[in-house]
Structure 1
């Protein structure tokens, strides 16, 4: 940038003192200082904005690389699954259509899976089947109570 040594700054100060005068020099120096400060802040803001844009571009590159890697992995997994499924289906067709006497069709049996049946569990029935004496002994709450009602219920007799 600009290279200012001590001798150049002293020369500029002497010329400013002669041209501007000793009364107005402090005010001019303050004004120049504030303008230089604003300029430095503006340069710092521009640098920060440039750095943010560079980081954003880097993040976008990383995102595109990551998404391409994910798509490649997904494609390779899908190809492997498809090839394994094809091989399994081919093996199943070979086993079921080989014409040997041990196949299901030759002995008159068709392979079938059992039909799904819901277990018909009713947790309310199970919970209601617990005896009342056991619930009382185990301290199971059967009804909700507020704190004040619970205190009033368990207050010793004779106290009000």
Structure 2
């Protein structure tokens, strides 16, 4: 990450030991560790807030897409309902006239099959 080699770390450790001293070195390391933990916690908190904001933005776009889909589905359902209503109105108008025509045709057919023609009475006899 920082491209620090082992030799550079060793030089940094020796310089720190000389300037701080062996007595204060544990206190310095403890303090550095404490601040590193604070920095790490802040970084994790920032990251979690950023991730939450990204999820919320994604949820908002998904919510908008679902609303668009719902609107289009509702439109299609309303259109289909109107088509069915219109077809049923046409069927109510056309069915009685068609039924009467079929009934008239069937009644003439039935009367021919049920009642055969009567034979003509003989001539001369009354």
Distance in 1 between residues matched to 2:51 and 2:4, nearest whole Å:
29
- Between the aligned partners of 2:45 and 2:9, the Cα distance in structure 1 is 28
Q: Give the match for residue 13 of structure 1.
A: 13
Q: How many residue pairs are counted as aligned between the two chains? A: 101
> Matched residues in 1 for 2:47 and 2:4: separation?
23
Residue deviations 1:5-47 (CA, integer Å, cap 9, x gap): 2212211111111111111111111101111111111111111
Any gaps of 5 or more consecutive residues in structure 1? Answer: 104-160
1:102-158 Cα deviation digits (max 9, x unpaired): 49xxxxxxxxxxxxxxxxxxxxxxxxxxxxxxxxxxxxxxxxxxxxxxxxxxxxxxx
Distance 1:71 1:24 in 2: 70
Q: Which residue pairs with 1:45 in the alignment?
A: 45
SS in 1 for 2:23: coil
Q: Superposed, which structure 2 residues align to 1:121-140 within 5 Å? A: none
CA distance in 2, matches of 1:72, 1:10: 68
Structure-2 residue corresponding to 1:24: 24
Ranked by relative contact order (alpha carbons within 8 Å, sequence separation 6 or more), the top structure is 2
Q: Does 1:58 align with 2:87?
A: no
Distance (Å, rounded) in 1 between the aligned partners of 2:63 and 2:69 = 10
Question: In the TM superposition, what is the alpha-carbon distance from 1:63 to its structure 2 partner?
Answer: 1.5
Structure 2 alignment gaps of length 5 or more: 102-126
State how far apart, in whole Å, the 2-side matches of 1:3 and 1:35 are: 22
**Structure exhibiting the larger radius of gyration computed from Cα positions:** 2
Runs of 4+ in 1 over 4 A off after TM superposition: none
Q: Which residue of 1 aligns with 2:81?
A: 81
